[in-house]
């Protein structure tokens, strides 16, 4: 038993720095995608609630395309198909392809959350703001959006967990994030395949679990008001 | 017509039509098996999660949290490399994939079913017990049918996620829709047609699911409107 522990500890000791650089890369990519995706999603979500049929059709098409196809397919489309169109700006390296596809994927979730949160604010709020002499834009930005923002926090946290977990898929296009680093470690130590995958799972758990706990804590604070 | 062939060579796609058809059938088949299994086990995990016995609900909670906080890809690898070590080479790739996806989907289904069960009024249980039903009978005949009817749309939403998740099984060499796209790409080396066709097939499945869930919600919405 002691010997087994010592052997495993040697594996952990020699691989951990390598895996931690992978975790750092996972962290960076997921944070960039979460920030870009949330900003894009917030803008699209607010635009979706406006009374514009063309905008709504455009945004709904985007939502259905990105929520109706697996992330793996989206990644392949952005990494392999777009460069073959022959437009220089679309010839991404693997890192930008990863960040762009993940941001668009995040934004598709955030758009739906923001739109339903804006809808969940009682219409009396906007009417009251309009009757105080605010313009439509003022009513939206000073009255409706601040109230909607609170409602978005719990579902946003769950989406961020989905995004963090999706970064594992990026290993297939050779981004050296946690999963990829793990696969490389397994090439070095093929005898400990299961142990290394367990280690990777533990690292992902350490990153995602606090976010999940935050999501359920926020849900208990905000309550499930119409979302 | 040649300008269209330059942009999208549908003739090559036509040659692979039966491959994609097989892929769609495999994806639907794998998803269906996983759906049935994960609903079945999901009910048990949900009941375990609500158990008053600390050991039982803690095991269920730990399982749910572990699955929710780790990526599906890692879970697939753990099952794919771990299962043969535990029970020998008993399952082929597709069966291993189905096991991994079921293990992944069950906690999500369990959480949805648990919300449904919690939303059923306590009077239903009391009423059932008053007419002499046992606990198991109450759950099976009174609570579960109402609970599942209430959460049918989140369950369908999770089914769409499950359909999309089958694409990751292509990484462990299971043949399904994504595998069909990868096969066409490896044989023809044209990325555009291979992957756009794959995406198009997934979108078709997704739209079919949207229509089905709209229909189900209309049907059940009448019975559920209080």
Q: Given A73, A193, A205, which is nearest B69 (Cβ)? A: A205
Nearest-neighbour CA in chain B from A197: distance (Å) = 6
Which residues in chain A are closer than 8 Å to B172, comparing Cβ atoms?
Answer: none
| Sign of the alpha-carbon dihedral angle for B149, B151, B152, B153 | positive
Taking the model in full, what pTM does it have?
0.89
Structure tokens at A105: 């994927």
Q: What is the pLDDT of residues A48-75, one digit of tens each?
A: 988 888 999 999 999 999 999 999 999 9
> What pLDDT, on a 0 to 100 scale, did the predictor assign at position B74?
94
Say if residue B20's pLDDT is above 50.
Answer: yes
What are the start-end ranges of the H helices in B50-151? 54-69, 72-87, 93-119, 122-130, 135-137, 144-150
- Please name the residue of chain A whose CA is at the shortest distance from the CA of residue B169: A72
Query: Mean pLDDT, to the nearest integer, of B152-163?
Result: 92
Residue B136, pLDDT > 60, answer: yes
B226 pLDDT band (50/70/90 cuts)? very low
- Phi and psi based region of residue A122 (left: phi greater than 0; alpha: psi -120 to 50; beta: remaining): beta
- pLDDT at position B223, please? 53
CA-based nearest residue in chain B for residue A212: B69
pLDDT on residue B224: 52
**B206 and A169 in contact by Cβ < 8 A?**
no
DSSP 3-state of B27 = helix
Q: Is B8 helix (H, G, I), strand (E, B) or coil?
A: coil
Contacts of B192 in chain A (CB under 8 A): 81, 84-85
B77 is written with which tokens? 């690898």
Pairwise CA distance, residues B25 & B200, whole Å: 15
Instruction: Please name the member of B85, B203, B205 whose beta carbon is closest to the beta carbon of A65.
Output: B203
Tokens of B182: 């990868």
User: A97: which 2 tokens?
Assistant: 């392809």
What per-residue confidence (pLDDT) applies to A224? 55
- Subunit contact B73:A169, Cβ cutoff 8 A: yes
Q: Is B84 on the interface with A (CB under 8 A)?
A: no
- Stretches where chain A sits below pLDDT 70 are 223-227
Distance between CA atoms of B128 and B141, rounded to whole angstroms? 9
Single out the residue of B41, B46, B162 nearest to residue B97, CA to CA: B162
Size of interface A-B (CB pairs under 8 A): 107
Q: What is the pLDDT of residue B225?
A: 46
A201–B74 CB contact, under 8 Å? yes
pLDDT at B99: 94
How much of chain B is helix, strand and coil, in % rounded to 5? 85, 0, 15
Q: Cα–Cα distance between A85 and B191 in angstroms, integer?
A: 10
Chain-chain contact of A84 with B164 (C-beta, under 8 angstroms): no
What does the pLDDT average to over B11-40?
93
pLDDT of res. B200: 93
Beta carbons of B164 and A71 less than 8 Å apart: yes
Q: How high is the pLDDT of residue A140?
A: 87
Residue B62, exposed/middle/buried by CB under 10 A (0-12, 13-18, 19+)? exposed
DSSP type of residue B151 = T
User: Taking CB atoms and an 8 Å cutoff, what residues of chain A touch B210?
Assistant: 64
Question: Are the beta carbons of B207 and A67 separated by less than 8 Å?
Answer: no
Q: Which long-range contacts (CB under 8 A, 24 or more apart) does A52-60 make?
A: A59/A111
Q: What does the alpha-carbon distance between residue A194 and residue A182 come to, in Å, rounded to a whole number?
A: 11
ipTM: 0.88
Q: Which residue has the tokens 């003022």?
A: A138
Quickly list DSSP for chain A.
Answer: -HHHHHHHHHHHHHHHHHHHHHHHHHHHHHHHHHHHHHHHHHHHHHHHHSS-HHHHHHHHHHHHHHHHS-HHHHHHIIIIIGGGG--GGG---HHHHHHHHHHHHHHHHHHHHHHHHHHHS-HHHHHHHHHTT--HHHIIIIIIHHHHHHHHHHHHHHHHHHHHHHGGGGGGGT--SHHHHHHHHHHH-GGGHHHHHHHHHHHHHHHHHHHHHHHHHHHHHH--S--
User: What Rg do the C-alpha atoms of chain B give, in angstroms?
Assistant: 21
* Min distance A74 CA to chain B CA atoms (Å): 8
Provide mean pLDDT across the span B30-52. 95
Q: Following CA atoms B10, B14, B19, B22 in sequence, which dihedral angle do they give, to the nearest 10 degrees? A: 100
Q: Is the dihedral of CA B64, B68, B69, B71 positive or negative?
A: positive
């Amino acid at each position: 038993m002691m010997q087994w522990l010592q052997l495993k500890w040697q594996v952990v000791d020699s691989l951990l720095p390598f895996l931690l650089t992978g975790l750092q890369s996972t962290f960076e990519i997921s944070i960039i995608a979460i920030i870009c995706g949330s900003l894009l999603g917030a803008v699209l979500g607010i635009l979706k609630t406006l009374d514009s049929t063309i905008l709504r059709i455009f945004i709904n098409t985007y939502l259905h395309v990105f929520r109706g196809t697996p992330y793996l397919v989206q990644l392949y489309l952005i990494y392999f198909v777009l460069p073959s169109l022959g437009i220089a700006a679309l010839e991404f390296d693997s890192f930008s392809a990863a960040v762009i596809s993940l941001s668009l994927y995040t934004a598709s979730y955030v758009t739906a959350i923001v739109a339903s949160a804006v809808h969940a604010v009682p219409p009396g709020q906007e009417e009251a703001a309009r009757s105080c002499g605010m313009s439509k834009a003022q009513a939206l930005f000073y009255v409706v959006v601040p109230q909607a923002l609170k409602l978005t926090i719990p579902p946003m946290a769950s989406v961020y967990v989905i995004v963090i977990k999706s970064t594992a898929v990026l290993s297939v296009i050779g981004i050296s994030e946690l999963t990829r680093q793990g696969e490389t470690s397994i090439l070095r130590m093929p005898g400990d395949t299961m142990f290394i995958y367990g280690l990777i799972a533990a690292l992902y758990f350490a990153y995602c679990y606090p976010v999940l706990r935050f999501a359920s804590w926020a849900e208990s604070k905000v309550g499930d008001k119409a979302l | 017509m040649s300008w269209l062939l330059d942009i999208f060579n549908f003739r090559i796609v036509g040659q692979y039509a039966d491959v994609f058809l097989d892929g769609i059938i495999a994806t639907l088949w794998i998803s269906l098996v996983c759906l049935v299994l994960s609903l079945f086990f999901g009910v048990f995990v949900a009941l375990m999660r609500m158990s008053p016995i600390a050991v039982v609900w803690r095991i269920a909670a730990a399982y749910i949290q572990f699955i929710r906080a780790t990526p599906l890809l890692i879970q697939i690898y753990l099952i794919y490399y771990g299962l043969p070590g535990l029970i020998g080479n008993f399952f082929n790739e597709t069966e291993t994939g189905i096991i991994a996806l079921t293990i992944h989907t069950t906690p999500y289904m369990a959480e949805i079913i648990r919300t449904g069960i919690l939303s059923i009024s306590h009077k239903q249980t009391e009423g059932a017990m008053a007419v002499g039903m046992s606990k198991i009978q109450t759950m099976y005949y009174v609570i579960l049918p109402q609970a599942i009817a209430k959460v049918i749309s989140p369950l369908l939403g999770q089914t769409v996620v499950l359909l999309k998740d089958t694409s990751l099984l292509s990484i462990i060499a299971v043949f399904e829709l994504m595998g069909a796209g990868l096969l066409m790409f490896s044989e023809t080396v044209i990325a555009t047609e291979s992957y756009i066709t794959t995406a198009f097939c997934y979108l078709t499945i997704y739209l079919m699911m949207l229509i089905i869930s709209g229909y189900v919600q209309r049907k059940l919405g009448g019975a559920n409107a209080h």
